[in-house]
Amino acid sequence: MSGYKKLIIWLALLILLTPLGIITQNPAWGEWSEEELSSMIGFVPIGIKEGSFFNAPFAEYVFAPLGKVGGYIFSALIGSILVIFIFYALKKVSNAKK
């Protein structure tokens, strides 16, 4: 089995396991509410307190046609594709300079 096939299998497995985060009581890293952040570090940074300028396209990872679990898998799939595309583009740019 080639290295790329193994990588694709592992990536697919990780994408399918993504919804396991739903069953935990703890939030994902960096997804804390103001209250959680305040209890962890003792204050809420001004940028967070004044509000965010970004609204997520799929709030809470929910993509209506797919439900909550499907939304997590869809988000993981889209994120993985974006990361692969970025690294592929960087590789092409790097090879073009040589």
41-69 per-position pLDDT tens digit: 999 988 888 876 667 777 777 777 888 88
Share of the chain above pLDDT 70, in %: 96
Angle, alpha carbons 23-73-35 (nearest 5°): 45
Tell me: pLDDT of 80 over 90.
yes
14 beta partners: none
Which residue is listed with tokens 């993504």? 18
At 38, list the tokens. 């305040």
Which residue is listed with tokens 């703890």? 26
- Per-residue pLDDT of 19-42, as tens digits, reads 888 888 887 777 888 888 899 999
Confidence band of 88 (pLDDT split at 50, 70, 90) = very high
